[in-house]
Amino acid sequence: MSAYVPPGWPAEVHPPGADRFEDTAVAWLLELVPPEYRRYGVLRRYPIALAGMARRHVDACVEAARLGFRTARTDLREVVPPHGIESILDAYRREGVRLVALSTAAELVETALRERYAPERPPRPASPS
């Protein structure tokens, strides 16, 4: 049986509802955050908290890369030759694309975890017409 996964879903994470979805999500999310985060068992116990931290961390990396791209010419013009700056800007462009895709994937996994842990809500009564 194959489950639908939205575009941008990380290949390393099993689809929601599949066996080991949560285990693969936790392992993947831990790869997105600094290694020190592995020390905190609470993040393994509450994957939704880990997902939020990972998404915020990746989003901060996106913003840092954007700032680096915007300021590279000014910051480096006296210490890096023009061809070097162009190569640095190219690295920022490539990394930016990768980070934005990672941010999308992290958001998808976080949403799936939220849906998994969402409390059951009783159906709303029909409103009188």
The per-residue pLDDT for range 18-71, each reduced to its tens digit, is: 999 999 999 999 999 999 999 999 999 999 999 999 999 999 999 999 999 999
In sequence order, which ranges of the chain are alpha helices (DSSP H)?
A: 21-32, 41-45, 47-76, 82-117
* Number of residues that make up the chain: 129
pLDDT tens digits, one per residue of 61-120: 999 999 999 999 999 999 999 999 999 999 999 999 999 999 999 999 999 999 987 776
Helix (H, G, I), strand (E, B) or coil at 7: coil
Task: State which H helix or E strand residue 34 sits in.
Answer: none
Helix axes 21-32, 82-117, angle to 10 degrees: 150
Closest C-alpha to 29, from 11, 49, 54: 54
The pLDDT score that the predictor gives to residue 98 is 98
In this predicted structure, the answer to whether residue 2 has a pLDDT above a threshold of 70 is: no
The Cα–Cα gap between 100 and 37 comes to 22
Query: Would you say the pTM of this structure is higher than 0.75?
Result: yes
